[in-house]
Structure 1
């Protein structure tokens, strides 16, 4: 086994090597303790937490940094698929559970674990690496770029203009909303989500383990399970086209008036009718005076569904999913483009994993991309290309910031025409 080492000085001044290695099963409980500490949870995991967490971990893609026998940093990745523009599923390496003990920060441990994982992902043939960044400044230096943003709204239900006494949109098109059990969600949810990710760029696949956690079949002690309410939307033909899971608090005014908030945990829909019906349903639940949307795309239709769109108060918009390209050719060929066009991109990658000069010939039916010696139209780093890949960012805007260099006049504008999408990408899942 090849180990990476970082040297640190002991109080006596001698150097002790910090060993970065692939985890073993016996080391997992200590590794989980370090992870809990980094994420500000109760440090010592219960036996159930160890069992549940271990069942979802690919151990040979899990790293620990060890100072003597003590684990001091954590890192793991797992196989994932992400939907490119146009609906193609792209092989990704998803990075998660990154932490460094406060006693061992600023010693290059994350850099070494990341370099090892990205090199392995490149060797496996993964097209991109993905992660959810807890802090913005960390991951740009590793070639990741913010590629998908999320937004959250709170709907003031009494002000929204919706009349809870009137049938919702589901009644108008012959569809219906039915309350559901966790068993029904586990049965219907996976196929519904597969339909969603076949058409919505930015969505990542969900695993069986993830569905079990989301529906309470598997639980962890550090985050006590509270069963949500579930509802399914069925079309007039009986086909499941939407799912919502939500929780509600129990808050009343001093005068006995309900002031309850429903918080949406998950809402996925594959037709406009299902999306309208489920939002109308959640906003019409008795005693609910506010609805918090959960993570949605910044151009989500929720505010526009309300007779008074000002009733949807935007709580935040933030970067969410970050993408690191590992294979420029396959990444650019995996997606579609709205119009025909060509660009020569000079991609800089300090890590040496995906840099080079490439000619992209793109169009609605797909694209071809190949290394070239031609003069570049745009020069940019690999993280910037990651931000452009799913269509959420503007090359013109990045050029104004100096993150894209326009070698040919108008090339940034052409990049926007080719890369940007009519609807923004969306990733509903934290991983």
Structure 2
């Protein structure tokens, strides 16, 4: 029987689809009716694809609407991609290629500026025009070695840090995150819909999800205004009658440097906590240098995280910010013909234009390399040294870095 790739016609096909997702990610060969029912509300059938071998689903693919902040603080619409799987029995048959092509074509027609995903495996997505646009790091801090004073009693500038329950975080958290993600130096941050907050605070659960209730703390400035929060869980351990607890930070969001410093110092000073795991943070996070002994922060993970696939190059380049006045002619190559073309970017602190041109290019690059450069986290000079960007005049790659690089590294706080 021929394989059929299609969007799901009805929720009746979801049990088979969820089983394929579970098998593809090695979570088990079956999914309970309870879990199917719990996860069904998240699925938009019109944006969900499956490959079917008879009645059996053997590949899955889903997209949803997402907002992403670009350098300078503007927000653009993205086609977020998730739940990508191909069953081991049906690999190397072009299933992912066909589903990806369908999804990207639809995203282009919708007017999405780019597509986004978090790549489970590095080699897969470059051939579809995606490039790694931000990285993520995680540290483990040995509290005793760090030099942080265990007698820390909170900020001394009239601000305060207070414990908060799930309900309070659900009230103040969404507005804090929206202010955070639209900041000028928060490139890569995405929106958190109401569903995210319900899961984060335990108000929405799934069967056998292993949920651990979190502690929360909110930082308020001297005027009493919330300026940040932190959520963490605790792994208990006693050794010879001595507590050796590990605090695992789930999320730390701060609108000001003072809030960020105070929240980290608070977590590092919680009684019985011997180690603090930072959770996923930007690679240039302040945490290590906040410690009197930065070597107490051991880097346990540093890897690519958010990947971007350009779809509307002029819109992307017009939307982001630039630190200086200047222009650059880019020749973007795209085998899928979704983002190819030559354009002149004329940019500065006051805004940017990007128009099609027949002028000789300063740089030639594939769409995936533009995805890598767009958020300002990668260097055109480094890509040119690798042969992935071609400079047609001396200094063109250096000039691209002057225009594109950002003071703080791009960072996406959330898996999706």
- Give the TM-score taking structure 1 as reference length: 0.94
Where does residue 312 of structure 2 map in the other structure? 327
Q: Could you tell me how far 1:382 is from its partner in structure 2?
A: 0.3
2:178 aligned with 1:178 = no
Where does residue 131 of structure 2 map in the other structure? 145
- Aligned length in residues: 413
Where does residue 11 of structure 2 map in the other structure? 25
Unaligned runs of 5+ in 1: 1-15
Where does residue 105 of structure 1 map in the other structure? 91
- Take 2:260 and 2:53, find their aligned partners in 1: how far apart are those partners? 51
- Take 1:285 and 1:167, find their aligned partners in 2: how far apart are those partners? 10
Q: Does the residue aligned with 2:133 lie in a helix, a strand or coil?
A: strand
- Please list every run of at least 4 consecutive aligned residues from structure 1 whose deviation after the TM superposition is greater than 4 angstroms: none
- Give the TM-score taking structure 2 as reference length: 0.98
Alignment of 1:157-176 (within 5 A): 157-168=143-154, 170=155, 172-176=156-160
Unaligned runs of 5+ in 2: none
Alpha carbons 2:152, 2:269 under 8 Å: kept: no
Q: Deviations over 1:330-359 (max 9, x none)?
A: 000110101111110000000000000010
Q: Could you tell me how far 1:115 is from its partner in structure 2?
A: 0.2
Alpha carbons 2:362, 2:392 under 8 Å: kept: yes
Q: Does the residue aligned with 1:17 lie in a helix, a strand or coil?
A: coil
Which of residues 66, 69, 73 in structure 2 aligns to 1:80? 66
2:236 aligned with 1:237 = no
Which of residues 220, 225, 242 in structure 2 aligns to 1:257? 242
Q: Per the alignment, do residues 47 and 69 of structure 1 end up closer, same or farther by CA in structure 2, a change over 3 Å counting? A: closer
Alpha carbons 2:152, 2:266 under 8 Å: kept: no
Which of residues 377, 400, 407 in structure 1 aligns to 2:392? 407
2:282 aligned with 1:297 = yes
- Take 2:163 and 2:19, find their aligned partners in 1: how far apart are those partners? 39
Alpha carbons 2:284, 2:409 under 8 Å: kept: yes
Q: Could you tell me how far 1:185 is from its partner in structure 2?
A: 1.2
2:328 aligned with 1:343 = yes
Which of residues 195, 213, 233 in structure 2 aligns to 1:209? 195
Q: Could you tell me how far 1:314 is from its partner in structure 2?
A: 1.0
- Take 2:364 and 2:218, find their aligned partners in 1: how far apart are those partners? 48
- Take 1:185 and 1:99, find their aligned partners in 2: how far apart are those partners? 34
Q: Does the residue aligned with 2:3 lie in a helix, a strand or coil?
A: strand
Q: Could you tell me how far 1:50 is from its partner in structure 2?
A: 1.4
Where does residue 354 of structure 2 map in the other structure? 369
Where does residue 7 of structure 1 map in the other structure? none
Alpha carbons 1:42, 1:222 under 8 Å: kept: no
Alpha carbons 2:152, 2:265 under 8 Å: kept: no
Which of residues 395, 408, 412 in structure 2 aligns to 1:427? 412
Alpha carbons 1:41, 1:222 under 8 Å: kept: no
Q: Does the residue aligned with 1:103 lie in a helix, a strand or coil?
A: helix
Q: Could you tell me how far 1:51 is from its partner in structure 2?
A: 2.2
Which of residues 118, 124, 138 in structure 1 aligns to 2:104? 118
- Take 1:212 and 1:222, find their aligned partners in 2: how far apart are those partners? 17
Q: Could you tell me how far 1:64 is from its partner in structure 2?
A: 0.4
